[in-house]
Amino acid sequence: MLFNSYEFLFLFLPIALGGYFFLGSREKTSEWANIWLVCLSFFFYSYWDIRYLPLLLLSIGVNYLISGRMIRSRQEKKNPRTTFLVGMFFNAGLLGVFKYTDFFIENLNFLGEDLPLLHIVLPLGISFFTITQMVYLVDCYEGLAKERNLAHYALFVSFFPHLLAGPILYHRPMMKQFDDRRLRVIDWDNMGRGLTLFIIGLAKKVLIADSFVSFVGSGFAHPGQLTLLDSWAVAICYMMQLYFDFSGYSDMAVGIARMMNIQIPINFDAPYRAYGIINFWQRWHMSLTTTITNYLYTPMVMTYKKITFGKAMLATFLSMLIAGAWHGAGWNYIIFGALHGVGLVLNHTWKKYHLWMWKPLGYVLTLVFVLVAFVFFRAESVADALQVLYAMVGGHGVALPPSVAGAFHHYLGISVAVLAGAHIPKKVFLAALLLVALCPSSNRLVKNMKPNNKWAVAMAVLYVWEIMSLSQVTEFLYFQF
């Protein structure tokens, strides 16, 4: 089920909110409010394909049992290392089978084997609910997690706003909220701010991100036909599409949770205004950045007896390499992670030696670097990505927009190549550029807003506009990961 669908907007969400607060407002049924959300989250997941619901239930059940065994071992002063390793291998194996099997077979075939591909369909959300539970097992192993309420744990993993594309949740803040009965009663301020954030997120997806689908899809489907100007246009439009699509989903997830008085992590803070790759990852997919730092980078660094700058940078590079591979089974994702690893190392080195950088140039270099990395992130293969980049440096020649080319021909008698393919949505493109350059992040807007009649009318008009624009419902881009 999609957040940007009529079923979700007019049936699922009102029923979810109504049932949650109806059960939560009564002392005898208060805990059933959490169970209600668990059941709805399972329905939400199985709405796509009920065949994958047993996989989610298996993952929750096995990880719950393993975490319980580790907690008991801690209480009995025993080392839970073996149980921990079993849990980590189980989760890694689950991801490996469903996400990376065909990737490994393809590489074996490249080396000379002749194995048939299995074409295993990737279950939605498997990357997110698996990494959430792996992080939980690490905390259990370190003695930081002691929660044993099955309903709370199942809700922590399957909570429908974050289940399919994040943000990545952490057990300590979530378990406290699920256990707080006061949060199961309507708070109209949270309801209003959460609804506002949801409407803003829906606008990002429906009114902006979806406008780029045709143009971006056409460009990356035929990278060999792109020339200098349209290759840059396609790459920049994808940069905008990805941001407004993913940040829109994250805004809606945070907004839905807030309507239920539940706080989940914020994922974006104006990332395209970042100065340097370090600052970019402090603003982009922030819950993933926290996970990478705490559960990949820090453990790597702590294995060294003596931490040096070089060793810290190696851990930084390897962490981003793993993060790239986590996004998808393909060399293009690995290259995406490697590029950002190199970018972070260069940025840290620049800061270490206090090298000077003209600030406007720093912004431009950061955006160009992110743009190049996103070409690998979007392309179907490394070869396609290289074709797009080759076009971006003029390898496929230069073509002009039809209006400019016509002027050249009419006034100068010169015939030049014309941009081919779908047309750029110019008004949306300009609006997107202005929003990322000048507008505060949606979470800051909601934090600073003062609810009044003008605000209510503005949100109502925006919501009606969004509903009228739902002619073609599209999936969120991060669902494929």
Would you list the domain boundaries of the chain?
6-184, 194-480
Task: List, for residues 49-91, the tens digit of each pLDDT value.
Answer: 898 899 999 999 999 999 999 999 988 888 899 999 999 999 9
**pLDDT per residue as tens digits for the range 327-352:** 988 999 999 999 999 999 999 999 99
| Confidence band for 248, pLDDT divided at 50, 70 and 90 | very high
Per-residue confidence at 451, pLDDT binned at 50, 70, 90? confident
Query: From CA 184, how far away is CA 149, in angstroms rounded?
Result: 17
pLDDT of residue 195: 96
pLDDT tens profile 23-36: 998 888 889 999 99
DSSP code per residue over 255-297: HHHHHTT-------S-GGG-SSHHHHHHHSSHHHHHHHIIIII
**CB of 194 closer than 8 Å to CB of 255:** yes
Which has the closest alpha carbon to 205: 461, 430, 2, 481? Answer: 2
- Quick one: how far is CA 193 from the chain centroid? 22
Rounded to 10 deg, the angle between the 331-352 and 309-327 helix axes is 150
Structural contact between residues 5 and 252, judged by C-beta atoms closer than 8 angstroms:
no
Query: Is the model's pLDDT at 122 over the cut of 90?
Result: no
| Residue/partner pairs of 433-437 with CB below 8 Å, 24 or more apart | 433/240, 435/208, 436/240, 436/243, 436/270, 436/272, 436/273, 437/272, 437/273
Within 13 Å of residue 96, how many CA atoms lie on the same side as its CB?
A: 8
408-442 pLDDT tens trace: 555 555 544 544 455 778 899 999 999 999 998 99
Q: Active site includes 348?
A: no
Place of tokens 């169970």: 35
Three-class DSSP category at 232: helix
Q: Please, what sign has the CA dihedral across residues 320, 222, 469, 427?
A: positive
pLDDT tens-place string over residues 154-206 = 999 999 999 988 799 999 899 999 999 999 999 999 999 999 999 999 999 99
Could you tell me if 179 and 152 are in contact, meaning their C-beta atoms sit under 8 angstroms apart? yes
Q: How many CA atoms lie within 13 A of 160 on its CB side?
A: 25
Q: Which of 171, 285, 327, 340 is labelled catalytic?
A: 327
